[in-house]
Chains A and B, each alone.
Chain A
Amino acid sequence: MTTSASGGRPAGAPAPAGRRPLRKADETPAGRRPPWVLLAPACAAALFALLPLGYLAVRAFERGPRFAWNVVGDERTLQLLTRSLSLTAVVVAASLVLGVSLAWLTVRTALPGARTWSVLVTLPLAVPSYVAAFTWLASAPRTAGFAGAALVLTLVSFPYVHLPVAAALRGIDPAQEEAARSLGHGPIRTFLRVTLPQLRPAAAGGALLVALYVLSDFGAVSLMRYDTFTRAIHTSYRASFDRTPAAALSVVLVVMTVALVAAETRTRGRAGHARTGGGAARPAVPVPLGPWRIPALAWCATLVAASVAFPLGTLGYWLAVGNSATWDLGTLGEAAWTTLGVAAAGAALTTLLALPVGVIAARHRGRGARLLEQAAYAGHALPGITVALSLVFFAVRYAYPLYQQLPLLIGAYAVLFLPVAVAATRAAVLQAPPVLEDVARSLGRSPLRVLREVTVPLAAPGVAAGAALTFVVCMKELPATLLLRPTDVDTLATRLWTETGSGSFAAAAPYAAALILLAAVPSYLLGRHRT
């Protein structure tokens, strides 16, 4: 398993290594419809992911379409739209440049210490956007605003592009590039015309994750005091008991997400990115960097410094400045323990829900399968606070005992991070050649047993990597956790937020440091798993 267990949108997966296409394009495995044992739980997961949308529909149109339309058509809303979209565009473009360049340098060139670098550049995944924002603000207050928000969001989200693109680069048969060279194309033209087009699905998948991340980010833009949709929604929720304006704004955000997902699906197209012909691909010969070695090293070092070393250094400074009186080891330990617990439960539930959806997305084409997959993506662009409030809404009405209890928070994590786990599962299942399932059927196994004995064991490493990534993002989640945690429960993220809110950087630093350290472990394992 090499592919995009992380953000790597399945599209990033280099088609299951190079064997000949095992079925005709319009053939689904053994029958047209997925078996019920998959379809029923997948539909349940999709419906669960769609809950917040249902909530929005109820809330936004509670007072008639005209009222909602007035909120959406308001000049202030259009302004927010421009601000959100321009921030997204800049961060996506910058992440593509950083992610693709780092992937190429670490996978294809003779960069000294390439393996170490490829692990180091995945570490920003462990840095929550609000921690990064807080460290930049604490040392350079003038970064507040658009520039600061764009900088911070790029530095924390470029691994979403780097990881799938690096995996795709490893999957490309170097013989194709050699063929292009022998046909008279220089190295640059070869890269542009042969390599880059094959990276496009991986890069587009990563870019989609970055875009969704930016649209739904709350912590960094709030700290940087840059007004976007999420911040406006938050303010609106806080400002009054009237939930309709906020719901209407959320609807606009959902529309933008659907448009982005649709655009990404289009770039995926029908083209196969498999190798033709059998046999294993040879590993590519690393490109010598020559005089570019030093600039390439400097480029990697700068990015690692800005995205990992700088936040850690700043935290270290505040830890040193603070004294033991400002931090309380007991509270810290308790918060860390709670964080681990809720994140593990969140990752487990999310992975379980994602499994049937991911298998169907990988193995079955057609409108139904695509709809299921897209439904699973619904929650991702919703700001955490919207998801949280929708769950509160349903809990209060239909499942009161859950209200203000941990299961509700874990459910919110599942809605928010289902896309991450679905992408990982789909990519992992795609790596397992379908012909193996055919063989298992012919040897007397029922579809369900084939799933258990062949598909799942083969996909297990990729699914586990997806679970690890989900664990990391659950640990970092802030807005939904703030709203849904039982009153007496604190995670590292909520403690950090409370302390930063009251301006005590020194008191916040231990929580931030603990959070980064805990999140770094699975991130490090993910990076190593890929290399």
Chain B
Amino acid sequence: MTDHGNELRIEQLTKSYSSGAPVLQGLDLTVPGGTLAAVLGPSGCGKTTLLRVIAGFLRADTGTVTLDGRTLAGPGVHLPPERRRIGIVPQEGALFPHLSVARNVAFGLTGLDSGGRRRRTADMLDLVGLAGYGDRMPHELSGGQQQRVALARALAPRPALVLLDEPFNALDSALRTGVRADVRSALRATGATALLVTHDQQEALSTADLVAVVRQGRVAQCDTPQDLYRRPADPWVAGFVGDAVLLPATVHGSGSTATTPLGTVALAAPSEGRSTGTVVLRPEQLQLTHADTEEAVRGTVRDVFYYGHDAKVTLSVQGVDDPVDVRVAGPLSVGPGQEAAIRVTGEATLHP
């Protein structure tokens, strides 16, 4: 697969249900070929509707969907699902309970002779680490195994795009990480373009190459996980993809630094003429030091949440309305009621 093949392009997609409630409101999204993109959003944001429109189970009201240069949906065009070359991996797998694992995987292999079908099925099961499971029935597999068979089934006919609808939801968290990694490497190995729908920001950031945050039927921001986390488009996105500390700020003359209740902060991008605004920091950009440190801002510890690998300390700081979260790695030396000093490292983003 080349970098240019299998690109998914969605333009100005709108969709309302018959009750009149708009679900998609002019959504734009481009996923380059071979990319694993995550669609991340709170429940009700329209991400499942988006997935069903792409797959062809729903008709969009307006807008276009093109895949690899073919128009799947657009004015006067609605390709039925069976002609889209899009594989889907539903929640909980949805394997056909009346067919064996091998026949599930082979279900979409209509163009091949029986030998080719068998080879492709074996290859796919091998790819997802289930070689030799072909004769089992779906109910004889664990949840994670079912999910992997569902992926093999979706990938077998070499689809141009694979849609994954919260596929890890039903798995317990210990299993989830492993299945996620397996799914990602299987997708990489085939070079398929994939769209993963999820409401779990950890999952989106850790699994995808590209994350599109959807809010009220539109893409609020689409970026690599790093850029999304480091440079959120607005405070809402910042808060949705991780813990965020929001501070009122006054920009200095040069436009590259700003004054906040936690001291002077470097800005990730020039302020473009704005003199005041809100800066967004991540809790791990804040450090706790001894209360008697000079030049540091002091706060009172309100609460401590201990996670093992790190801890989150919540402080109240003069001049900041909301409590300030600080992530602390290593041994913890403060407790509720104590005073501590806070120091800011790294850059912050400025928002109106």
In this complex, what residue of A is CB-closest to B18?
A26
Stretch in B78-86, B121-129, B211-219, B254-262 touching the partner:
B78-86
**Contact between A444 and B97 (Cβ–Cβ < 8 Å)?**
no
A252 to B90, CA, bound (A): 51
From B88, which residue of chain A is reached at the shortest CB distance? Answer: A442
A287 CB-CB contact with B under 8 Å: no
Chain B residues with Cβ below 8 Å from A27 are 17, 58
Q: Which residue of A lies closest to B19 (CB)?
A: A26
- Cβ of A20 under 8 Å from chain B: yes
**Which residues of chain B are within 8 angstroms of A24 by Cβ–Cβ distance?**
17, 49
- With beta carbons under 8 angstroms apart, the residue of B49, B94, B98 that contacts A439 is B94
In the bound assembly, the distance between CA atoms of A216 and B154 in angstroms comes to 52
What chain A residues lie within 8 Å of B332 (beta carbons)? none
Which of B49, B55, B82, B169 has the largest number of chain A CB atoms within 10 A?
Answer: B82
Structural contact, B94 and A442, CB atoms closer than 8 A: no
Q: Taking CB as reference atom, which chain A residue is nearest B85?
A: A444
In the complex, whether A44 has a CB less than 8 A from a CB of chain B is no
A259 interfacial by beta-carbon distance below 8 Å = no
Given A30-B80, A443-B157, A444-B82, are A20 and B91 also a contact pair (CB < 8 Å)? yes
Pick the contact of B82: A20, A26, A441 (CB < 8 A).
Answer: A441
Taking the closest CB of chain B, its distance from the CB of A346, in whole angstroms, is: 28
Q: Is B92's beta carbon under 8 Å from chain A?
A: yes
Give which listed residue, A19, A438, A440, A443, contacts B92 with CB less than 8 A. A19
Nearest neighbor of B139 in chain A, beta-carbon distance: A280
Q: A441 contacts which chain B residues (CB < 8 A)? A: 56-57, 80-82
Kindly identify which residue among B80, B87, B94, B98 contacts A433, using a CB–CB cutoff of 8 Å: B94
How far, in angstroms, from A487 to B91 measured CA to CA in the complex? 61
Query: Which of B17, B58, B94 has the largest number of chain A CB atoms within 10 A?
Result: B94
Chain A residues with CB below 8 A from B49, complex form: 24
Size range of the interface on A? 20 to 34
State the CA gap A20–B17 with chains docked (Å).
Answer: 19
Q: Contacts A29-B57, A30-B80, A435-B90 given; indicate if A443 touches B17 (C-beta within 8 A).
A: no
Q: In the complex the two chains form, is A443's CB within 8 Å of B58's CB?
A: no
Pairwise interchain contact B90-A439, C-beta atoms closer than 8 A: yes
A175 to B331, CA, bound (A): 42
Are B91's CB and A438's CB within 8 A? no
The answer on a CB contact under 8 Å between A444 and B108 is yes
The verdict on A458 contacting chain B, using a C-beta distance below 8 Å, is yes
Q: Does B133 contact A (CB under 8 A)?
A: no
Q: Which residues of the partner chain A approach B98 to less than 8 Å between Cβ atoms?
A: 457-458
Q: What are the residues of chain A within 8 A of B97 when measuring CB–CB? A: 458
The answer, yes or no, to whether A446 is at the interface (CB within 8 Å) is: yes
B96 within 8 A of A: yes
Name the residue on B nearest A433 (C-beta): B94
Interface size of B by Cβ–Cβ distance < 8 Å?
32
Question: In the assembled complex, how far is the CB of residue B165 from the closest CB belonging to chain A, in whole angstroms?
Answer: 9
Query: Would you call B77 an interface residue if the criterion is a C-beta within 8 Å of the partner chain's C-beta atoms?
Result: no
B231 at the interface (CB under 8 A from A): no
- Check A443/B153 contact, CB under 8 A, given A24-B17, A30-B57, A438-B81: yes
- A20 to B93 alpha-carbon distance, docked (Å): 12
Docked-complex contact A443 and B90, CB < 8 angstroms:
no
Interface string of B106-124 (1 = CB under 8 A from A): 0110100000000000000
A443 to B96, CA, bound (A): 12
CB-defined contacts of B56 to chain A, threshold 8 Å: 30, 441-442
Q: How far is the CA of A439 from the CA of B169 in the complex (A)?
A: 18
Q: Is A454 an interface residue (CB 8 A)?
A: yes
CA–CA, A19 and B143, complex, Å: 14
Chain A positions within 8 Å of B170 at CB level: 278-279
| CA gap between A27 and B49 in the complex, in Å | 11
Q: Which residue of A lies closest to B94 (CB)?
A: A435
Q: Is A436 an interface residue (CB 8 A)?
A: yes
A445 in contact (CB, < 8 A): yes
Contacts of A445 in B (CB 8 A): 82
Query: Measured between alpha carbons, how far is A24 from B110 in the docked complex, in Å?
Result: 31
Please indicate the chain B residues that have their CB under 8 angstroms from the CB of A26 in the complex: 17-19
Cα distance A435–B107 in the bound complex, in angstroms: 15
Q: A20-B91, A26-B19, A30-B80 are in contact. Are A440 and B57 (CB under 8 A)?
A: no
The complex places the Cα of A454 from the Cα of B108 at a distance, in Å, of: 13
Instruction: Given A26-B19, A444-B110, A457-B98, answer yes or no on A438-B82 (Cβ-Cβ < 8 Å).
Output: no
Q: How far is the CA of A478 from the CA of B17 in the complex (A)?
A: 51
Report A431 CB to chain B, min CB distance, Å.
10
Contact partners of A433 in chain B: CB under 8 A: 94
Chain A contacts with B in 181-237, Cβ cutoff 8 A? none
Decide: A443 and B87 in contact? CB cutoff 8 A: yes
Q: Which residues of B contact A31 (CB under 8 A)?
A: 59
A458 vs B96: C-alpha distance when bound (angstroms): 9
Provide the bound-state CA to CA distance between A372 and B57, in Å.
Answer: 24
Cβ of A445 to closest chain B Cβ, rounded Å: 6
Instruction: State whether B82 touches A439 (Cβ < 8 A).
Output: no
Bound-state CA distance A433–B98 (Å) is 12
Pair B18/A443 contact, Cβ less than 8 Å: no
A155 to B154, CA, bound (A): 53
* Bound-complex Cα distance A230 to B343 (A): 91
Residues of A14-30 whose CB lies within 8 A of B: 19-20, 24, 26-27, 29-30
Q: State which residues 436-477 of A face B: CB under 8 Å.
A: 436, 438-446, 454, 457-458
Q: Which residue of B lies closest to A29 (CB)?
A: B57
B157: chain A residues at CB < 8 Å are 443-444
Cα–Cα distance between A458 and B97 once the two chains are bound (Å) = 8
State A440–B150 Cα separation when bound (angstroms).
12
Say yes or no: B57 contacts A438, CB within 8 Å: yes
In the bound complex, residues from chain A placing their C-beta under 8 Å from that of B107 are 440, 443
Q: Report B-chain residues with C-beta under 8 Å of the C-beta of A442.
A: 55-56, 81-82, 84, 86-88, 108, 154
Contacts of B273-330 to chain A: CB distance below 8 A: none
In the bound complex, residues from chain B placing their C-beta under 8 Å from that of A458 are: 96-98
Q: Could you show 29 A-B contacts with beta carbons less than 8 Å apart?
A: A20-B91, A26-B17, A26-B19, A27-B58, A31-B59, A278-B92, A278-B170, A279-B170, A435-B90, A435-B91, A438-B55, A438-B81, A439-B90, A439-B153, A441-B81, A442-B82, A442-B84, A442-B86, A442-B88, A443-B87, A443-B154, A443-B157, A444-B110, A444-B157, A445-B82, A446-B82, A454-B96, A457-B98, A458-B97
Given contacts A31-B59, A278-B169, A445-B82, 5 further A-B contacts (CB under 8 A): A438-B81, A440-B107, A441-B56, A441-B81, A442-B56
Residues of B within 8 A of A (CB): 17-19, 49, 55-59, 80-84, 86-88, 90-92, 94, 96-98, 107-108, 110, 153-154, 157, 169-170
Which 8 pairs between the two chains have the least Cβ-Cβ distance? A443-B108, A441-B81, A435-B94, A278-B170, A442-B88, A26-B18, A444-B82, A435-B90
